[in-house]
Structures are given as C-alpha cells and as structure tokens.
Amino acid sequence: MKIAIPAFVALCCLASTARSQQVAPATYQAIELKNLNQSVKPTDNFYDFAVGNWVKNNPVPASKSSWFSFNELYDHNRKVVKEVVMEAAAANAPKGTNTQKIGDFFKTAMDSTRLNQLGATPLKPYLDQIDQIKDADGVLSTFIFLKKHDLAGVYNFSVDPDDKNSSKYIPGFGQGGLGLPDRDYYIKTDAPTVAIREAYVKHISIMLQLAGQPKAQADAAAAKILKLETTLAIASMDRVTMRDPYATYHKMTLTDFTKNSPGIDWSVQLQQLGVTGADSILVAQPEFFKKLASMISSEPVATWKEYLKWKLVSSTASSLSDAFQNENFAFYGKTLIGAKVQEQRWERLTSIIDNSMGEALGQEYVKRAFPPAAKVRMLELIKNLKLAFAERIQALDWMSAATKVKALKKLNSIMVKVGYPDKWIDYSKLEIISGDNFGNYMRGREFDYNRNIARYGKPVDRTIWDMTPPTVNAYYNPGFNEIVFPAGILQPPFFDFKADDAVNYGAIGAVIGHEMTHGFDDQGRQYDDQGNLKDWWTKEDAVKFKEKADRVVSQFNTYTVLDTVHVNGKLTLGENLADLGGTMIAYQAFKKTAQGKSDVKIDGFTPDQRFFLGFSQVWRGNITAQSQAVRIKTDPHAPGKWRVIGPLSNNPDFYKAFNVQPGDAMYRKDDVRARIW
Ligand SMILES: [Zn+2]
C-alpha cells in the first residue's frame, strides 16, 4: 500500500503569467523554478510542466534502475546510515551490544578478500545436506529449513493477525517458489519475456556452477528447474485476483488442509515450522497447495534437490564471494531491471543490515536525522487531514447516512505512527560474529523468522512497524487500521520545514491523505474500524462505490507506457483511488490554513498552484525500460507520470487553479471524471 507518480494540460496564459509576475529570487525555493518546464502548458501536461526539467536533468544513475524523489532521498538517508555503521565498525564496542553487532556485521561483510577466498565453501554443509535427501519427506524438511532461515522456499509462511479477527494471531500459508518476478514471466510467449526466461535459465546454471556443479549437469538442472517453477507459476493466483481479500482468505483445520493437498501432512509441517497448538490456519491459495502436494510425489526427488540447491544459492548470494554477487547482479540487476553497474559494496551492505537489524540502525538514524519538531508538525498535519476527510465524508452526495456513520467511525479510529517505533526490537538473541559473514547473514534471517513465529498464542502487538526508520515510504495497514510514516520520508521534497504550507500540504499532505484513503479503497474499505475483514456498507452504497471506482479502472487502462503496454487499471486501482482521494483531502485541509485563504503569489504562483506543484514534485523520476516493464506487471502503483496526471485530471480544484478548459489534454468530461471521497 505504498506510494508513487503522472501528467498533462491546458491553458494558455498560465506559464507566461508565472514568468511575468515572478518576484525577486528568494534565497530558498521550496519549488525550484529550474525544475519546471514552462515551455509546456500546465493544462496540457502538468507532469511535464511541474517537473519536466528535473526529469531531463536527472537521468537514472548507472547503478540504479530508477531515479525518483524516493531514490534521491534514500541516497541521502543512506549517507547517515553509512556514518552509523562506520562509527560502529571503529568503536570496538562490548560484545552483545547493538553497536558491536552492526560494526562486526559491516566489517566482516566488507572484507571481500576473505569472502573471495572462501568462495562456495560456506554453502558446502548445506549442499551436502541436500545431497543426502532420499525421499519426499527429505524434500519437505528442506523447504522448512529454508523457510526457518527466511530464505526463498516453495511457499510462504508467517504468523499474522487473522483478517477476520484482528486481535488474534494465526499461522498462514501462501504461494511462492518463483525466481522470476511474476507468474506471467513463465507463461507469456512474447519475445522480451522469452528472452528473459532464456537468460534466467543461463543464470541458474551459472549459479549452480559457482556452487560446484559441472556445466553439463548445471545446464540440465537449470532446464528442469524452469519447468518446475513454470508448473508452480501456472498453479499460482494472479495479482489482480489477489486484490480481493476474500479470494485469499481460507480458514481451515490442519486436517482439512491435508485433505485439500493430499501428500503433505500439514500438522507435521507446522510442528517442524515451530508452531504448536494451532487448531486452524489460513491458506491464501488452496489450489496452489493442491498442485504443490501432487508435485511433491510426481516430480523426481532428484529434480527437487536441484531446485533446493538453486533456492539456497540464489537467496544467499549477497553474502557470498564476488563471483556470486556479480552473477546475481548480472541477472536480477542488469538483465531484469536495466541497471548498468552494481551499487558500491557499502551501499549494498547498508541495505542488508537495514534488512537484518533495521531497528538497531534506526535508533541511531533518528538520533541524527529526525528532529522531534518534525514529529509534532506531522501530527498536526495528520490531525488537519483527518478533519478535512471527515468533512468530505459528511458532505458526500452518494453515500447513505448509515454508511457515513461507520465510515467516520473508521476514520476516527485510524491509528497513527510517525518517525519510529515507541518500542524497539530487542536484538539480544541475535549473535553477530566477526569473520563469519555467511553465518551472520543466516542468523539474521533466522532471527527474523523466530521473532515472527514467537508471536503465536500471544496478544496481538499493535506497536510493531513494517518499515525501518530510514525508509523513504509510508503505509496503511488494513489489519490494524493504521497509517505509518517512517522518519526517512519526513524530509524534502516530501516534508520541508522551510517551505510554505501550500507545498507541504501538496506533498506530505497528499501522502497522508493517500494513506488514509487506503482505508477506503477497493481493498481497505472491506475492513472495519478494528481492522477486521467485515462488510460495513449498505448494498446500495457498495454498488455506487464500485461504479465510481470502475471509472478509475477505465481511466488508467487507457494510459500507456513502453509503446503498446498499458497500465493495468485493476492492479493499480487501490493506489489510484488513494492518490485521487489523497490530493482532494489534502487540498481541503490546506484551504483552512492562512495561506490557503490568501492569494499572495510566491515566485509567480498562487497558493493553490503551489499546492499542485508541491504534489507533483514528489512524483518526479526516471526509470529504465527494463524496470518499467517489470513494474507494469508487478507494481500496484501506476508510473509516476500518471500518478500526477491521473488524479489531477479528475480534480476540480486543480481545474480552477490552472484554468483547465474543455479541449485541454488535462480535461476530462464530467461524465467520465472520477470523484469518490
Ligand atoms: Zn499506497
């Protein structure tokens, strides 16, 4: 449910007006005029107008596959994180402290000479173990071993709150096992997809060779692995279907799960996974597990053994020698998403440490980069946005009074988290040993897994965070009915102390509105104020909502990227609804501020115009063609350009601010224009 960008349109005089009325250059510009492309009419392509020059002047760096405001800011945050790890590495801190762990993790992983000497040696005991497998039980136990180290396996498993009873944890199983980003990659027969598949098979073979297999054997294994993954892909549910929370909610007893997927005794599996005493479980895709169970006996054990080796090697590559890391990048970084060179080692490592010990790093990050005043200001903005959203709900002409009462109850129950957790993860049980890079990596993954399953049987902990503090993102969690904003995103261009309200309400305000609206999008609206999957809508209101949402689906289906490839209106619906609602709510909140009520121009732009410019600069960016191709299949967010153009071309306040008229490209006729919240 995270955020992301779009553009177009219309009128004649705005650009020139903006220039002619420009005031003396200020020393600080929250909207930097050099980023605008004022040769384009804002009414024809607002994205290009607002950020066109930024886009032209900020190509994707060689080591990246995309370069958006998010990446730019993350790069900035990573420098702070680098300071933290470098200081920890130099500190010689007492054994067992977070500082020792961060420092030793980093130092050990930076020692490429040692990693290159070791080569595939760290994998050997695990590969030997796989060689010992004699039957289906051995295969299943090894899946469990991979799962318990949070490494890629053949299915997903975790303990989470029950969607229909959010105060209770329940173990849940979901489909998995694919090495390519989506089932489409195994099924489609167009030339680019076939080329990626061919490169994937070569990549699997090279990785197996690096792990010690002769080429002929590795080639043969890679072909079999692709075939096996293809069978799993065909049995997998597609992403659009998975947007329906009822389609992925199947509560059953372990006995029923075993009956559903004969050949696997799930009570034995669950016990081996470390969870005991569960009377029922959730299965997201029963059909997938039915197929998997049949494959456990129909596929030769020898093929499964090759598959297990591939999963082990692939998911640990980042902790091995350069040969493994380079080949992993060659396929997943270069071929698949179009980066030209790998990020520097320290950059890759900070991401790995953020993944393994993110809240230990995060504690230091917020001390250095997150002023308490930012939290105070954010809470005030959120409060104003909530008020504006409540007013809009009350004023809706299409929703019944009965549903409004419940919608308002849900809105007022939204829990808010800003900056960093009140309660940090305790890493005392995680051992980080100097000189043991592979072990550190494996223990980090295992620690995460154990922390997750240890929840089972305990009261649901609503204080936890799904993102670490330096993360440049935000989320809505429907199960907790909460909105969460890590410290990492609370900086320019999202949130700027020096900026006027128009810019902040347009940027972080729209982000807050986006996350709030997720509670009322096609998925989120199906959860109640306590985070339970439960219908609180009258039938008529639900029908009206769906009609309105369908307009957004049709609108985005018409947007293209990469020649004939279209945005998937259904896949991106939730995010598009959140963008549409987010900008409207943020604008209404902005209009309550002193600047919102004034018409004093800054740099030639009215407060309302600055609001929409502030909104757009959040979504500026570039992306490689390869990465765009992957995202169009997998990302529930539309491309950045359409995230500006899409919502604004439905927004009457935007029309007013820039005098959008019929005939302008940003103009949508009233009978197709979407308005929900
Ligand atoms: Zn979102």
> pLDDT digits over 375-386, tens only?
999 999 999 999
Helix (H) or strand (E) holding 128: helix 124-131
Which amino acid type is present at position 258?
T
Average predicted confidence (pLDDT) for the chain = 94
* Cross-strand bridge partners of residue 157: 173
pLDDT score for 3: 41
Task: Measure 651 CA to ligand 1 centroid, in angstroms.
Answer: 19
Q: Give helix 215-234 / helix 301-316 axis angle, nearest 10°.
A: 90
Contacts of 189 (CB under 8 A, 6+ apart): none
Task: Measure 1 CA to ligand 1 centroid, in angstroms.
Answer: 4
pLDDT score for 19: 31
Task: Measure 477 CA to ligand 1 centroid, in angstroms.
Answer: 10
Task: Measure 554 CA to ligand 1 centroid, in angstroms.
Answer: 19
- Taking only the tens place, the pLDDT of each residue in 423-465 is 999 999 999 999 999 999 999 999 999 999 999 999 999 999 9
Residue 171's φ and ψ, nearest 5 degrees, are -70, 145
For the chain, state the CA radius of gyration: 26
Task: Measure 66 CA to ligand 1 centroid, in angstroms.
Answer: 18
Residue pair 594/533 in contact by the 8 Å Cβ criterion: no
What does the alpha-carbon distance between residue 436 and residue 205 come to, in Å, rounded to a whole number? 27
Alpha-carbon distance values, 676 to 275, 297, 384, 583, 658 (Å) = 43, 51, 20, 12, 22
Residue pair 49/42 in contact by the 8 Å Cβ criterion: yes
Task: Measure 583 CA to ligand 1 centroid, in angstroms.
Answer: 13
Task: Measure 51 CA to ligand 1 centroid, in angstroms.
Answer: 21
The token pair at 247 is 């389609």
Task: Measure 86 CA to ligand 1 centroid, in angstroms.
Answer: 34
pLDDT score for 564: 80
Least confident interval from 15-24, 436-445, 634-643, 644-653? 15-24
Task: Measure 238 CA to ligand 1 centroid, in angstroms.
Answer: 20
Instruction: Tell me how crowded residue 634 is: count the other CB atoms within 10 A of its CB.
Output: 14
CB environment 368-404: b (16+ within 10 A), e (fewer): ebbeeebbebbeebbebbbebbbebbeebeebeeebb
Percent of the chain's residues with pLDDT above 90: 94
Nearest to 205 by CA among 184, 226, 190, 191: 226
Average pLDDT over residues 355-363: 95
pLDDT score for 98: 97
The token pair at 201 is 């098979």
What does the alpha-carbon distance between residue 5 and residue 640 come to, in Å, rounded to a whole number? 2
Instruction: Tell me how crowded residue 298 is: count the other CB atoms within 10 A of its CB.
Output: 10
Nearest to 66 by CA among 336, 379, 264: 336
pLDDT score for 497: 87
Alpha-carbon distance values, 224 to 127, 204, 345 (Å) = 18, 10, 33
Least confident interval from 53-62, 290-299, 479-488, 491-500? 491-500
Nearest to 3 by CA among 463, 413, 476: 476
Q: Please say if the pLDDT value at position 238 is more than 80.
A: yes
pLDDT score for 22: 35
Say which residue the tokens 């009074």 belong to: 401
pLDDT score for 10: 26
Size (the chain), residues: 677
Task: Measure 101 CA to ligand 1 centroid, in angstroms.
Answer: 34
- Taking only the tens place, the pLDDT of each residue in 298-310 is 999 999 999 999 9
Task: Measure 662 CA to ligand 1 centroid, in angstroms.
Answer: 30
Nearest to 235 by CA among 194, 193, 274, 293: 293
Residue 432's φ and ψ, nearest 5 degrees, are -115, 120
Confidence band of 2 (pLDDT split at 50, 70, 90) = very low
Task: Measure 649 CA to ligand 1 centroid, in angstroms.
Answer: 19
Alpha-carbon distance values, 327 to 200, 312, 324, 330 (Å) = 11, 15, 5, 5
Task: Measure 110 CA to ligand 1 centroid, in angstroms.
Answer: 35
pLDDT score for 17: 27
Q: Please say if the pLDDT value at position 8 is more than 90.
A: no
Q: Please say if the pLDDT value at position 600 is more than 70.
A: yes
Opening angle at CA 212, ends 206 and 215, nearest 5:
50
Task: Measure 290 CA to ligand 1 centroid, in angstroms.
Answer: 33
Confidence band of 272 (pLDDT split at 50, 70, 90) = very high
Confidence band of 27 (pLDDT split at 50, 70, 90) = low
What does the alpha-carbon distance between residue 187 and residue 279 come to, in Å, rounded to a whole number? 37
Nearest to 484 by CA among 444, 457, 456, 518: 518
Task: Measure 391 CA to ligand 1 centroid, in angstroms.
Answer: 22
Q: Please say if the pLDDT value at position 494 is more than 60.
A: yes
Average pLDDT over residues 397-421: 98
Average pLDDT over residues 284-303: 97
pLDDT score for 532: 98
Task: Measure 189 CA to ligand 1 centroid, in angstroms.
Answer: 31
Task: Measure 568 CA to ligand 1 centroid, in angstroms.
Answer: 15
Q: Which residue has the higher pLDDT, 104 or 3?
A: 104
Residue 32's φ and ψ, nearest 5 degrees, are -75, 120
Task: Measure 574 CA to ligand 1 centroid, in angstroms.
Answer: 7
pLDDT score for 20: 33
pLDDT score for 295: 97
Contacts of 25 (CB under 8 A, 6+ apart): none
